[in-house]
Copies of this chain bind each other. A is one copy, B any other.
Amino acid sequence: MTISGDSDFRVVIIGGGFGGLYAALSMRRLPIKITLIDRRNFHLFQPLLYQVATGALSPADVASPLRSVLKRQKNTRVVMGEVIDIDISGGKVIMSDGQIEYDVLIVAPGSHHHYFGNDNWEPLAPGLKTIEDATEIRRRILLAFEKAERERDPQIIKELLTFVVVGGGPTGVELAGALGEIAHRALKEDFRRINPEQAGIFLVEGNDRILIAYPPSLSDKAQKALEKKFGVTVLTKTQVIGVEPNRVKIKNDRTENFIPARTVLWAAGVKSSHLGKIITEKTGAALDKAGRVKVNNDLTVPGYPEIFVIGDLANIDDGHGQPLPALAPVAMQEGRYLAKLLGNRLKELPTKPFHFHNHGTMATIGRNSAVADLGWIRFGGYLGWLAWLFIHLMYIVEYENRLLVLVQWAWNYFTGNRTARLITGGSPFPLKKPKIENDATPPEEKERVKD
């Protein structure tokens, strides 16, 4: 397909995540009309969302208003809308409240969490994909400590002070490490009856090691750091087979067991956007097991040179028979590649197939501790942590957010305090049945008044 130099050439991008936003930003000099559609009015810096969920950062620190990021990019407009269908023969994106025509369509809707057929677990074990997820998780973690402080029944206190993170990928490791920091540093002196340091934190992973996408030596380093520095109990080769309000059922080889716990966080799986199914039905493109669209090596849908799929929804071979992982760097490079490809099409030039340049992967465990695999070098500990901090700061889109994140990280580092520790949304009451609370009250009195 050839693009004329017509400035009315319409490129529609679905999704303002790493794929969609970097595609739009990279196309700033192309003589085209870009429409970026997102359900939300902001780009979310997902790699730091767990820090919102654990009270270290505020939602706005990891979210950049899309209009603000793109305000001076005159060839681009932002539409806040929800895409419900794609009219491929008509060249139109159908939103819940409107339609937008395209000449080229870039589909980058991201993914959401997946409970492997156990969707009823979701209310008990929230995942971490949106700002609302993060403030809900923050609320549950903090409320568990508040409730434990008020509780007298030792069994219930134990359940309240036990946290289970399901899934040992980077998000699970980061959440577990941050829970360790909350219990052992941030809340250490905050309570009078409970000792937050007695909190139990479990990280449950089905594979034989956490961070399965990393080299085994790094998985090992990460597990040791979680256990020794952050007080996390790592359970590998263990599957979650049930989530109940006050316990998690797990299976290890042939033994079944329960962890008594009232706070469960889900970091185990992602499900592709429903747009994958729509594209497959209308184009005949293949869908993989995870619901991703198998795209050509130029990221087009086979047979449809005007439709591109990038980011979490795209299945493209990594050169070793495996699909590229659902990571921000992959989506960003795909977005930039499309800018180059469309620029070439405008000049009627060919473009080489997409190739992902893997600059390495890293995961942080907590304060002074991270693991990194840059391909040519692997390292962990303090150096890994500094590298992690630096790289994440550099990738935050807005300068002001970089500054705010830096200030809060520095504060947190030196004081151990996490000040975004708000319990918001919904009423936390009633917590439980009435009881007497004054330590000065004699035990008989307590019993009497209780009845």
Give the interface of A toward B (CB within 8 A). Answer: 8, 10, 33, 35, 39-42, 58-61, 63-65, 67-68, 71-72, 77, 79-82, 92, 94-101, 131-132, 135, 142, 146, 149-150, 187, 189-192, 398, 400-401, 403-404, 407-408, 411, 415, 417, 419-425, 428-441, 449
Contact = CB atoms under 8 A, between A and B. Distances in A.
Tell me how many chains of this kind the complex includes. 2
Chain B CB within 10 Å — which of A80, A100, A425 has the most? A80
B440 A101 contact: yes
Given A68-B417, A68-B421, A449-B99, A10 B440 contact: yes
B97 A429 contact: yes
A437 B400 contact: no
A96 B142 CA distance: 19
Given A59-B424, A81-B431, 8 more contacts: A60-B420, A60-B422, A64-B419, A67-B191, A68-B419, A95-B434, A97-B430, A97-B435
B398 A404 contact: no
B403 A41 contact: no
Contacts of A82: 429-430
A144 to B, nearest CB: 12
Given A80-B428, A150-B79, A97 B434 contact: yes
Contact of A398 (B64, B150, B419, B435): B419
Contacts of A92: 449
25 contacts: A10-B438, A10-B440, A40-B423, A41-B146, A58-B59, A58-B60, A60-B421, A60-B422, A67-B187, A67-B191, A68-B190, A68-B419, A79-B437, A80-B423, A82-B430, A95-B434, A96-B431, A98-B150, A98-B434, A131-B422, A131-B424, A135-B424, A404-B404, A404-B408, A407-B407
